[in-house]
Amino acid sequence: MASDWVGVGVGQGHVCGIRAPGALYCWGRNTDGELGLGPSGPGQTRTPTLVPGAQDWTLVVGGQGHTCGIRTPGRLYCFGDGSFGQLGIAPRADTNVPLQVGDGTDWRTVATDTFHSCGIRGAGTLWCWGRNVEGQLGVRDLTDRDIPTLVGSDSNWADVSVGRFHTCARKADGTAWCTGMSDDGRLGNGDLERRNTMTQVIWAAG
């Protein structure tokens, strides 16, 4: 049994994991190319299968039908379903092999869910892309983005997490911020109003 797994990311119907020193393996559903196994990849695989190419992965996360990850020294890659721009690659299209998103080498983290993705770069800036029907990208409108788009002007973002129609992130000062759908109060702002820009989560003692 392998005991060298160093990371794992779960999607809706697939899973990818990293084995030391950086080999990427994926398994599960592959109808959109989310396993990154290329044009000859099966529709599904029930055991971890090595993703061809460089073995320098440091992080992997799964969405509904796509996968994103970071490779040394900080290059961002995505693959799978790109129908809403969630791969961050223009023009939008599906891909069954990992493709680099832009030419940046300073990505620190990435998060993804159903139809959109967000990541933080080395300077602490927050970037989002993909579907934006509920303002989940936090870019002050409801327009989808095909490539990573800067969220506001702050440069002290420390962590980000993505849901189906909303996004939340934490700043280095310990404050939490959310944007997107809030019909059940998921933004933590005390109301049910949709936001299209990052809004601080309120907290009342007691």
pLDDT at 2: 84
pLDDT at 206: 52
The series of mean pLDDT values per 10 residues for the chain, 206 residues long, is 94 98 98 97 97 96 98 98 97 97 98 97 97 98 98 98 97 97 93 96 73
pLDDT digits (tens, 9 = 90+) for 26-73: 999 999 999 999 999 999 999 999 999 999 999 999 999 999 999 999
Beta strand spans in the chain (E): 5-10, 14-19, 23-29, 44-50, 57-62, 66-71, 75-80, 95-100, 107-112, 116-121, 126-130, 145-150, 157-162, 166-171, 176-180, 195-200
Q: What is the pTM of this model?
A: 0.96
Alpha-carbon gap, residue 42 to 33, rounded angstroms: 9
Structure tokens at 126: 């927050």
For 20, which DSSP code? T
14, 29 Cβ separation under 8 angstroms: yes
pLDDT at 204: 64
pLDDT at 205: 58
The three-state secondary structure class of 75 is strand
pLDDT at 177: 98
